[in-house]
Chain A
Amino acid sequence: MRRLAVLAALVSALLPATSLVTARAVVAAPDGVIRVGSKSFTESYLLAEMVAQVVEQVGEARAERRVGLGGTGLTQRALESGAIDVYPEYTGTITRVILKEPALRTEEEIRARLEPRRLTMSASLGFANTYALAVREEEAQRLGLRTIGDLGRHPDLTAAFTSGFIEREDGWPGLRARYGIGLARVEVMEHALAYRAVASGQVDVMDVFSTDGQLERLRLRLLEDERHFFPDYAAVLLARREMTVRYPRTWARLREVLEGRLDAARMARLNAMADLDGRPVAEVAATFLAGREPEPGGGGRGRALLAEIAGLTRDHLLLVLVSVGAAVLLGIPMGVMAARYRRAGQLELSVIAMLQTVPALALLMFMIPLFGIGKGPALVALSLYALLPVARNTYAGLIAIDPTLLEIAWVLRLGRARRLLRVELPLAAIAIMAGVKTAVVTTVGTATLAAFIGGGGYGTLIVRGLALDDTVTILAGAAPAALMALAFHALFELLDRVVIPRGLRSGG
């Protein structure tokens, strides 16, 4: 938390103006819009899409999807700040992570505790998605694994757990203590990857959710939790009270359509459709809401994906151009300052370099408490990230200028500003352009992470593809990003001809 506070102070010192711009993202949704959030796994996407479609059917408000947020911390803050109005959550997570009162049992108790936070929740949607441990069916038979306690007889087994499961008290640490078991090796792995690792026999045990679509298809066995360690994770809708009061018909309809309507088997089937059959989330949600089983096949998926990529391209371009633009506007003056006041400059450049050492994803996460979720915080984080190459190269270009040329500028009595514009910046143009080029190309890549905090762009497809374990969707996001990086590179080769003075260019 302290590090966060330091960073917060730093960021607000660096970018006082941006906070004004992005503060808008934190305030409640404007009239007529219900912002539907989700976490970044299939079931959450599906339930959120059902909610969004119901909202649209009722017609009281427009639905805005802010899906694929990267974790409970994020969705909770987004909900409390009003960046989203409703999202699917699980009672176990609400009591443990959000309220931090694991003793709460009934829905009434939980709802009463949510009241002071101006939140409310629906009744159970009908299924519980509890944590569970899974192993391959044939391995379970071979080793005689039926319950979690049976793992105690095989301490040589290895596991792939999600980072949340490894850290949470209601995950691996608590489980290990309750059963008195240990494993030879525990790796941190995304769910989708862990399924592959287990299916291919690279690891033996993984944490799963009991409604995961893959369980049946990959022939995995859930180990029985005979000591009832895992708490109940009944699926519910968690919402801002304000929204339920403002749009009573919508909230009533949501409860009517979703409460108690989904049992575990049904949810697992819906998950499998999206995960394993590659059906679009919207289509799976619609078939459920229409009360029919989906028809086989899935034509038109390619076209839908193409249309989506077009939209995301605009998104992604916006992210890159705005953030690099801000980095240029800020980074060039910072580089100039660093070159002018060398000692303070070193400090300044170290601070920017330090920002660069924060992993991009972490930097994006740090933006949430400051600026909420969505494009605003993503732009701030990406701008900060692009700052270093621009400022550093400006500085390097300026200090590399032949001192004689600067002395002549003095003898010619050019003022500071004239000297900067007529002499220094043109002479540093090659280095500065190289910095901007680096910033653009890396930002195209880094911007794919913006999707984790609802910033949109190509990352939307990558995050969803990872959640759905769908390589095609991942590629649909990754390939255009690579192409865009190449395109920018080519564009900048052309731009060099405009920006870099002819006398400095090689060969011309």
Chain B
Amino acid sequence: MIALREVTKRFGSTVALAGVSLEAPPGATHVLLGSSGSGKSTVLRLILGLATADSGSVTVDGVPVDASSRDRLVARMGYVVQDGGLYPHLTARDNVALAADAPGWPRARVDARVAELAGMAGLDGATLGRYPRELSGGQRQRVGLMRALLLDPPILLLDEPLGALDPIVRAELQDQLGQLFAALAKTVVLVTHDIREAARLGHTITLMTGGRVVQHGTFADLVERPATPFVRQFLTAQTLDAPAAPAR
């Protein structure tokens, strides 16, 4: 269980989070939905310990994320960013294997695990031997996901993981991610601005704007019982943009 209680966070004079509370239950996928500047990425950074809350608390399984605990806690998290966040000087395989550097896994164990994940992600050996810039956007994203999953962490945090992809690849990967999350039964927190992604992947959704939580619930809750006019506005604006949107 990941929980935020009344968290505020400022960057200089900019308020990123103004009293945010939310919960991501274990074994389920929780989506943080909002446009850019809504504060949703800051939530992820607070959970990872990359940033510290000004007030309020951030806890992972009841342990507050702070300077003394964050190193231990981050060991239980996998992190995926837009476009994969791959190191350009390492091959796809070495990017993935880098995650085993800290625990010092023996070579054979790393190789076996990489092979297992490659099968799951649908990447062959030749692709894994390439450098990031020689890969397609979708391949880079799969490699980033493999790296996050290498140590099989119970928590998976994804920040706009499909943001850099074209719509067709994006839709395809959304389906695969959904299946994957279901199969792995991990606690997933996924940040996106894409309403369809939220609908497809999120067991629960938190809609944010201007550093505040607007509504928390299932996708059906948001559609059928919008808490404010903004919720309806947000859903409509996006679904109008997307011709194939199912909510239309």
Contact of A410 among B50, B90, B132 (CB under 8 A): B50
Contact of B98 among A404, A407, A412, A429 (CB under 8 A): A412
Given A404-B81, A404-B85, A429-B89, A414–B98 Cβ distance below 8 Å? yes
A307 CB to nearest B CB, Å: 47
**Contacting residues of chain B (108-133) with chain A, CB-CB under 8 angstroms:** 131-133
Complex contacts, A413 vs chain B, CB 8 Å: 71, 74-75, 102
A477 CB to nearest B CB, Å: 41
Contact indicator B87/A427 (Cβ below 8 Å): yes
Contact indicator B79/A504 (Cβ below 8 Å): no
B44 CB to nearest A CB, Å: 11
Contact of B89 among A404, A411, A501 (CB under 8 A): A501
Mark contacts of A389-425 with chain B using CB atoms, 8 A cut-off: 1 yes-contact digit, 0 otherwise. 0000000000000001101101111110010001100
Contact indicator B91/A503 (Cβ below 8 Å): yes
Complex contacts, B75 vs chain A, CB 8 Å: 413
**Contacting residues of chain B (73-107) with chain A, CB-CB under 8 angstroms:** 74-75, 77, 79, 81, 85, 87-91, 98-99, 101-102
Contact indicator A504/B102 (Cβ below 8 Å): no
A406 CB to nearest B CB, Å: 10
B15 CB to nearest A CB, Å: 21
Complex contacts, A418 vs chain B, CB 8 Å: 101
Asked whether any CB of chain A lies closer than 8 Å to the CB of B190, the reply is no
Contact indicator B88/A504 (Cβ below 8 Å): yes
B98 CB to nearest A CB, Å: 6
Q: Which of A413, A429, A503 has the most CB of B within 10 A?
A: A503
**Contacting residues of chain A (482-508) with chain B, CB-CB under 8 angstroms:** 501-504
Complex contacts, B98 vs chain A, CB 8 Å: 412, 414, 422
A496 CB to nearest B CB, Å: 13
Mark contacts of B124-161 with chain A using CB atoms, 8 A cut-off: 1 yes-contact digit, 0 otherwise. 00000001110000000000000100000000000000
Contact indicator B132/A503 (Cβ below 8 Å): yes
Asked whether any CB of chain A lies closer than 8 Å to the CB of B48, the reply is yes
In Å, the complex CA distance between A11 and B38 comes to 53
Asked whether any CB of chain B lies closer than 8 Å to the CB of A182, the reply is no
In Å, the complex CA distance between A423 and B102 comes to 14
Contact indicator A503/B102 (Cβ below 8 Å): no
Complex contacts, A502 vs chain B, CB 8 Å: 89, 131
Contact indicator B48/A411 (Cβ below 8 Å): yes
Q: Which of B74, B79, B88 has the most CB of A within 10 A?
A: B88
Complex contacts, A325 vs chain B, CB 8 Å: none
Complex contacts, B79 vs chain A, CB 8 Å: 408, 411
Complex contacts, B89 vs chain A, CB 8 Å: 426-427, 429, 501-504
Q: Which of B87, B102, B132 has the most CB of A within 10 A?
A: B87
Residues of B within 8 Å of A, CB-based: how many? 22
Total A-B residue contacts, Cβ distance less than 8 Å: 54
Complex contacts, A429 vs chain B, CB 8 Å: 89
Mark contacts of A176-213 with chain B using CB atoms, 8 A cut-off: 1 yes-contact digit, 0 otherwise. 00000000000000000000000000000000000000
Using CB atoms, name the residue of chain A closest to B131: A503
In Å, the complex CA distance between A197 and B58 comes to 81
Complex contacts, A426 vs chain B, CB 8 Å: 87, 89
Contact indicator A407/B74 (Cβ below 8 Å): no
Complex contacts, B50 vs chain A, CB 8 Å: 407, 410-411
In Å, the complex CA distance between A472 and B78 comes to 69
A79 CB to nearest B CB, Å: 55
In Å, the complex CA distance between A413 and B98 comes to 10
**Contacting residues of chain B (39-64) with chain A, CB-CB under 8 angstroms:** 48, 50
Given A503-B88, A503-B131, A503-B133, A414–B102 Cβ distance below 8 Å? yes
B90 CB to nearest A CB, Å: 7
A321 CB to nearest B CB, Å: 27
Using CB atoms, name the residue of chain B closest to A403: B50
A414 CB to nearest B CB, Å: 6
Complex contacts, A504 vs chain B, CB 8 Å: 88-89
Complex contacts, A411 vs chain B, CB 8 Å: 48, 50, 74, 77, 79
In Å, the complex CA distance between A504 and B74 comes to 29
Contact indicator B90/A414 (Cβ below 8 Å): no
**Contacting residues of chain A (331-362) with chain B, CB-CB under 8 angstroms:** none
Contact indicator A408/B71 (Cβ below 8 Å): no
In Å, the complex CA distance between A191 and B211 comes to 76
Contact indicator A501/B81 (Cβ below 8 Å): no
Using CB atoms, name the residue of chain B closest to A418: B101
Please name the 10 residue pairs, one residue from A and one from B, whose CB atoms are nearest each other, closest first: A503-B131, A501-B89, A413-B102, A426-B89, A411-B79, A503-B89, A503-B88, A408-B85, A504-B89, A412-B99
Chain A residues within CB distance 8 Å of chain B: 404-405, 407-408, 410-415, 418, 422-423, 426-427, 429, 501-504
Given A410-B74, A423-B87, 20 further pairs, Cβ under 8 A: A404-B85, A405-B85, A408-B79, A408-B85, A411-B50, A412-B102, A413-B75, A414-B98, A418-B101, A426-B89, A427-B87, A427-B88, A429-B89, A501-B88, A502-B131, A503-B87, A503-B91, A503-B132, A503-B133, A504-B88
What are 17 A-B pairs with beta-carbon distances under 8 A?
A404-B85, A405-B87, A408-B85, A411-B50, A411-B79, A412-B101, A412-B102, A413-B71, A413-B74, A418-B101, A422-B101, A423-B87, A427-B87, A427-B89, A503-B131, A503-B132, A504-B88
